[in-house]
């Protein structure tokens, strides 16, 4: 399943290259970011609402969750796909998450 059309990088791209710096707060991750179909998604604000529990999302922090996402019945519903568009940070090749220690799960 391809959620977003490919984009091109460069000064004429409608999607600027984004630098996202993750920080630690009180020994826990302040962000939970997963990868689906070569896109980063910041699902931090959705952790407590996820029907499968927040642990499911947290175990894919900075990992490719495409296969797991596509294998769940209901994820192809319009509601789930609309949620994803709200959390999208951009394509993996256009977003620089930085190299801080905070990128590693606690």
From the centroid of its chain, how far is CA 28? 18
pLDDT tens for 53-102 read: 999 999 999 999 999 999 988 787 888 888 889 999 888 887 777 643 43
Model pLDDT, residue 33: 92
Model pLDDT, residue 13: 42
Q: How many residues comprise the chain?
A: 106
Domains and CATH numbers, the chain: 26-101 (3.10.120.10)
CA distance 78 to 100: 35
CA distance 57 to 60: 5
CA distance 103 to 57: 15
Model pLDDT, residue 98: 67
- Mean predicted confidence (pLDDT) in 20-36: 64
CB atoms within 10 A of CB 23: 10
């Amino acid at each position: 399943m391809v959620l977003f059309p490919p984009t091109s990088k460069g000064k004429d791209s409608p999607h600027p290259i984004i630098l996202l710096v993750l920080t630690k707060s009180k020994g826990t991750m302040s962000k939970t970011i997963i990868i689906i179909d070569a896109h980063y998604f910041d699902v931090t604000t959705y952790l407590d609402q996820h029907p499968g529990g927040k642990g499911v999302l947290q175990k894919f922090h900075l990992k490719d969750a495409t296969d797991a996402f596509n294998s769940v019945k209901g994820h192809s519903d319009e509601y789930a796909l609309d949620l994803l568009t709200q959390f999208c940070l951009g394509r993996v090749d256009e977003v620089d998450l930085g190299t801080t220690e905070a990128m590693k799960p606690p």
